[in-house]
Structure 1
Amino acid sequence: MKKTWWKESVVYQIYPRSFMDSNGDGIGDIPGIISKLDYLQLLGVHVIWLCPVYESPNDDNGYDISNYQNIMDEFGTLDDWEQLLDGLHQRGMKLIMDLVVNHSSDEHAWFMESRQSKDNPYRDYYIWRPGKDGREPNDWSSFFSGSAWQYDETTEEYYLHLFSKKQPDLNWENPTVREEVYKMMTWWLDKGIDGFRMDVINLISKDPKLPDAREETPELGTAEPDQKFPYHFGGKYFVNGPRVHEYLQEMNEKVLSKYDIMTVGEAINVTPEDGALYVGEDRNELNMVFHFELMRVDAGKGGKWDIRPWKLSEIKAIISKWQTLLHNKGWNSNYMNNHDQARMVSRFGNDTRYRKESAKMLGTLLHTLQGTPYIYQGEEIGMTNIRMPSIDDYQDIETLNMYQEYTAAGIDPDKVMESIYIKSRDNARTPMQWDDSEHAGFTTGQPWITVNPNHDKINVAEALKDQESIFYYYQKLIALRGEHDIIVYGDYHLLLPEDEQIYAYVRTYEGKQLLVVLNFCDQPVHFQLENSVQYEQYQLLISNYTVDEQQDIREMDLQPYEARVYKLNQ
């Protein structure tokens, strides 16, 4: 397996709006991030992934970009951004930017031209269609609820928006659009950035016929529109679309291959087999993808908001599939939360009695798998989900649209709110908790979104004072990856696939082995190591409880949410 810096790195994701506010307007900004670079250096991370800071009307928190080559006023200036890049590079850290090119903002100059007339030179930068039988061109639903089409009176046609109506989809079939995107990417890379995280990149190619989802998908039943929910997921016509690999190979040839950078693509509804096509080292597309299989482990038949209990055997099956199928072909990205997902200690751990133990245990998992670990801001101090008092306190467009759609369809608002408490993207977007002062040290003003009331106990200042904190445990996990090649490059073998309490696996590399044992439940459990794992010596590398290091590892009694990592045969 080829060794590279991005395989050996740990990435820290910053959501700028919620990280640190420098000027008291209640909104995090770039000077705020600069003020915390020493903190990030102390943690030991190597790469910062910065969520969008580009000019934007902010309909979807910056993922609706009106100017790709300027900075949003609320976040600062291009000079501030240059200082951030310099500050990171001076500290030996790298910066990757968010690339959002499936869609732009409807306030982008291209779209404002495009909607002027049907023969405007920019018309074909977007996907316009006439209506059909007095309705939208097809029955596709938006990811943010409702139709994926918006009627525009100026030209009496509809434009496609897979997300918000203020996020019209770019037409990648148009070679001029692709050239504009490549030119913009080159502009940022020439400024010295170290790569891109690519938003919903596997949606950029659509079936040009744009068929109805219901008519073409027998399992959805007849073509009669459902009166409550008349729109349907058309993913088979735009997820991993017909030309997506052609476009990415072209992007790689014209831009990415000319720089020593890392790329990770957000890829909705991909299997490991699909993933291998995006990240295969011989395919010249991307380095990694973010897949969503693990993020859907608690989704019922009704999708994200239809929540069911997850089982550990399901989590193990998903992770193991990706670990084994990509081994020696491509590279994994390892994450359990980000700006679009609930907090991982609330979702996969125990955010009350065993918050510290379970946060450390989950961190152990992510940092000892093969693949690049991604830490989301606040994860390193065990930040949790929030229950805001009312739907009026939520800011996320996906959450608000879903609430409106579901309650209008007669679903009990209290039941809808329970789903929001578990899954809303705003769980991840509450301000970073720096200290126990008012507004958690995030701002001297009124924060743009509610601060989690538990910031009086869960905050950076507390974590830095406590040598047993989650922060210092993460610091050690990151350091261990740098000290032991086996953690980065070793292969992966799952033990006890059906066990619903213990997740255990062995990593193997150049005659050495790593044993990882994790208790995923709030009860003590007994672990017995299978005889196929042979060793002469063992060394405890890290654990989240005090362990008798002389105790034989063939039999272990594990405490609730205990994690242990042993190096065998060193």
Structure 2
Amino acid sequence: MRITDTSDLWWKSAVIYCLDVETFLDANGDGRGDFVGLAHRIDHLATLGVTCLWLMPFYPTAERDDGYDITDFYGVDPRLGSHGELVEVLRLAADRGMRVIVDLVVNHTSDQHPWFRSARSSRESPYRDWYIWRDEPPPGSAENVFPDKEDGVWQLDEKTGQYYQHSFYRQQPDLNVTNPAVRDEVAKIMGFWLQLGISGFRVDAVPFFLDTAGVENASELLADPHEYLRDLRAFMNRRSGQSILLGEVNLPYDDQLAFFGGPLGGELTMQFDFNAMQRMYLSFARQDARPLIEALRARPALPDGAQWAIFVRNHDELTLDKLSEEERQEVFAAFGPDPSMQLYGRGLRRRLPPMVDGDPRRIRLAYSLLFALPGTPTLFYGEEIGMGENLAIEGRSSVRTPMQWTPGVNGGFSTAPAKRLPAPVTEGGYGPEFVNVEAQRNDPDSLLSFLRALIERYQTTFEIGHGVPELLDAGADAVLAHAMRWDEGCVVLVHNFGAAPVDVALTLEGSSLLDLLTGTRLPLPESGPAHIPLEGYGFRWLRLLP
């Protein structure tokens, strides 16, 4: 077998873990998580098998959008710690073989950012053109990202008598990427954090970042916004050759390909596969693998040095916007029938375990898929122990509750009174008295132990991260079977979306199959298909032995 140096492609077989410092662990008892608390829990992440830590915004903020309304792109929110404490987290992570990426939120600022405060003070402000202004809103404007809160994307500024564009909340004015000063500033922001030891960025809302539709004479100012994204990628790679841009691009596949840089690449390193995620939930709802198989078949061929990121849950609503209305209603009926569980008419504000009524078979099936599908698995904090949501919290914040470490007060997150926490701790059957790290750490049957073992197997199965995928005919609508091949190695991954047991027949060339999760061997017949039994919601990871 050929030995290939893939060190520059570390992200292809990474395990990414997303967390919000504010809700992870409070070390000083003030009610908010902090970098010192995160430092105390680095070993939890290392033991789990995390190799890339993704930090949600930790910058100074006006607190109107959970940290995404930033007032200083170079700062650290003093309530969370200091630059020195952040650097200590980076050092501890590096000591454990863990890289760190951070959110790059440069499609807008807070309206309290000094740039915008200057821009709205006068039409002659040097920062005026850092934002997008119009005397009158243009006809046919796009819908706001938060249609339940905003009725459009233009807001009148009384002092200067012009409207400014805000694709998100009105407190988040959009930056004008056609302005070369803005483009240069974004590069400086990236350079600053790279110099501190960051390994890349999760780029927020990339299509909004590059959207110039609201700018008058935009094509004259910036003919091709994608050329700018290519410039940013090149700049980043000059500063740090192994760094990545992980983009949030929730678009159809063909449109996503453009953000990779087309067939030649050179723009985003990775993108979240929103299309496969949504079809996966439709498959869960129907107990039929075919919707997910359709998505995998529809994936475009990626340029060299590009990769999909796979996720079961992220920090926003579980969007279903790429499904048809009928398909979306199927998923709603299966996993969020109460309107209070739905958001914006397009998504669910729930975590997976309550959605499947805590069924451990379905939970483990979902996470087996997360690590078996072609792409890089991404976990959201608390998934490793099966945390639930708190629907008493408004909007998408229902899934951003404090991490549950112990069965004690505030789930071991903080010693402060509950009213001082950034969000209420989840209550009921998914509260910390039932779901916490301490109880699961030494329980061999816990979800935490299962995920540790699954991640260890994933990390020693090189074909999954780097291999070429091949969909196999399983002969059963409920079953997804695919192979991952790399050099002479091949693994076969089989998942049953149905509640009924099934016998899968696969024609494979080799001597036997080694079950990577149990260590058992299944001899292959000299002729005809191999019969692989699967329990209801069962799955198997099988190495094909030549």
Q: TM-score, normalised by structure 1?
A: 0.79
Cα separation, partners in 2 of 1:483 and 1:497, compared to 1, 3 Å: closer
Question: Is 2:143 the partner of 1:121?
Answer: no
Output the CA distance in 1 between the equivalents of 2:474 and 2:349.
22
Question: Is 2:280 the partner of 1:275?
Answer: no
CA positional deviation for 1:356:
2.8
Cα separation, partners in 2 of 1:512 and 1:345, compared to 1, 3 Å: farther
Question: Is 2:313 the partner of 1:337?
Answer: yes
Provide the residue aligned with 1:562 in structure 2.
538
CA positional deviation for 1:69:
0.9
CA positional deviation for 1:469:
2.0
Aligned residues: 494
Of 187, 190, 210, the residue aligned with 1:205 is 210
Provide the residue aligned with 2:293 in structure 1.
316
CA positional deviation for 1:350:
6.9
Paired residue type of 2:386: G
Provide the residue aligned with 1:451 in structure 2.
425
Output the CA distance in 2 between the equivalents of 1:475 and 1:440.
22
Paired residue type of 2:404: Q
Residues 221-262 of structure 1 show CA distances to partners (whole Å, capped at 9, x for unaligned) of xxxxxxxxxxxxxxxx99xx9733111112123333331212
Of 272, 290, 295, the residue aligned with 1:290 is 272
CA positional deviation for 1:270:
4.0
SS in 2 for 1:286: coil
**Equivalent residues in 2 for 1:182-331 (5 A)?**
182-208=187-213, 243-259=224-240, 260-272=242-254, 274-275=256-257, 277-278=259-260, 282-297=264-279, 312-322=289-299, 325-326=301-302, 330-331=306-307
Output the CA distance in 1 between the equivalents of 2:356 and 2:247.
34
CA positional deviation for 1:387:
3.5
**Equivalent residues in 2 for 1:75-224 (5 A)?**
75-131=80-136, 139-145=141-147, 146-208=151-213
CA positional deviation for 1:113:
0.7
SS in 2 for 1:387: coil
Question: Is 2:354 the partner of 1:377?
Answer: no
SS in 2 for 1:529: strand
Output the CA distance in 2 between the equivalents of 1:262 and 1:492.
23
Provide the residue aligned with 2:33 in structure 1.
28
Provide the residue aligned with 1:542 in structure 2.
517
Of 498, 501, 504, the residue aligned with 2:478 is 501
Tell which deviates more after alignment, 480-489 or 33-42: 480-489
CA positional deviation for 1:71:
0.9
The answer to whether the 8 A contact 1:276-1:330 is kept is no
CA positional deviation for 1:278:
1.3
Output the CA distance in 2 between the equivalents of 1:105 and 1:382.
34
Output the CA distance in 2 between the equivalents of 1:539 and 1:298.
27
The answer to whether the 8 A contact 2:353-2:387 is kept is no
CA positional deviation for 1:386:
3.5
Output the CA distance in 2 between the equivalents of 1:520 and 1:506.
17
Provide the residue aligned with 1:214 in structure 2.
none
CA positional deviation for 1:326:
2.6
Output the CA distance in 2 between the equivalents of 1:364 and 1:370.
12
Cα separation, partners in 2 of 1:115 and 1:298, compared to 1, 3 Å: farther
SS in 1 for 2:274: coil
CA positional deviation for 1:299:
10
Of 482, 485, 503, the residue aligned with 2:462 is 485
Provide the residue aligned with 1:403 in structure 2.
none
Provide the residue aligned with 2:345 in structure 1.
none
CA positional deviation for 1:75:
1.2
Identity %: 30
SS in 2 for 1:383: coil
Output the CA distance in 1 between the equivalents of 2:475 and 2:424.
41
Residues 277-303 of structure 1 show CA distances to partners (whole Å, capped at 9, x for unaligned) of 516684321210124224544999xxx
Paired residue type of 1:288: M
Output the CA distance in 2 between the equivalents of 1:309 and 1:368.
21
SS in 1 for 2:494: strand
Provide the residue aligned with 1:407 in structure 2.
none
Provide the residue aligned with 1:438 in structure 2.
409
Output the CA distance in 2 between the equivalents of 1:165 and 1:310.
41
Provide the residue aligned with 2:503 in structure 1.
527
Tell which deviates more after alignment, 436-445 or 182-191: 436-445
CA positional deviation for 1:272:
4.6
Cα separation, partners in 2 of 1:320 and 1:336, compared to 1, 3 Å: farther
The answer to whether the 8 A contact 1:381-1:471 is kept is yes
SS in 2 for 1:568: strand
Structure 2: tracts of 5 or more residues without a match: 319-334, 336-347
Cα separation, partners in 2 of 1:498 and 1:156, compared to 1, 3 Å: farther
The answer to whether the 8 A contact 2:312-2:367 is kept is no
Cα separation, partners in 2 of 1:65 and 1:206, compared to 1, 3 Å: same
Cα separation, partners in 2 of 1:527 and 1:444, compared to 1, 3 Å: same
SS in 2 for 1:480: helix
Cα separation, partners in 2 of 1:52 and 1:353, compared to 1, 3 Å: closer
CA positional deviation for 1:426:
2.5
Question: Is 2:335 the partner of 1:360?
Answer: no
Output the CA distance in 2 between the equivalents of 1:272 and 1:287.
16
Residues 92-126 of structure 1 show CA distances to partners (whole Å, capped at 9, x for unaligned) of 21111110011111111111111111121110000
Tell which deviates more after alignment, 338-347 or 441-450: 338-347
The answer to whether the 8 A contact 1:354-1:561 is kept is no
The answer to whether the 8 A contact 1:66-1:105 is kept is yes
The answer to whether the 8 A contact 2:100-2:199 is kept is yes
Output the CA distance in 2 between the equivalents of 1:265 and 1:154.
36
Paired residue type of 1:448: P
SS in 1 for 2:495: strand
CA positional deviation for 1:170:
0.3
SS in 2 for 1:57: coil
Structure 1: tracts of 5 or more residues without a match: 212-236, 301-307, 400-424
Output the CA distance in 1 between the equivalents of 2:92 and 2:104.
21
CA positional deviation for 1:325:
2.5
CA positional deviation for 1:369:
2.3
Output the CA distance in 2 between the equivalents of 1:96 and 1:474.
22
CA positional deviation for 1:51:
0.3
The answer to whether the 8 A contact 2:313-2:351 is kept is no
CA positional deviation for 1:276:
5.7
Cα separation, partners in 2 of 1:242 and 1:525, compared to 1, 3 Å: farther
Output the CA distance in 1 between the equivalents of 2:85 and 2:193.
15
The answer to whether the 8 A contact 1:18-1:431 is kept is yes
Output the CA distance in 2 between the equivalents of 1:178 and 1:377.
32
Cα separation, partners in 2 of 1:193 and 1:330, compared to 1, 3 Å: closer
Output the CA distance in 2 between the equivalents of 1:144 and 1:275.
26
CA positional deviation for 1:155:
0.4
Output the CA distance in 2 between the equivalents of 1:380 and 1:483.
19
Paired residue type of 2:513: Y
Q: TM-score, normalised by structure 2?
A: 0.83
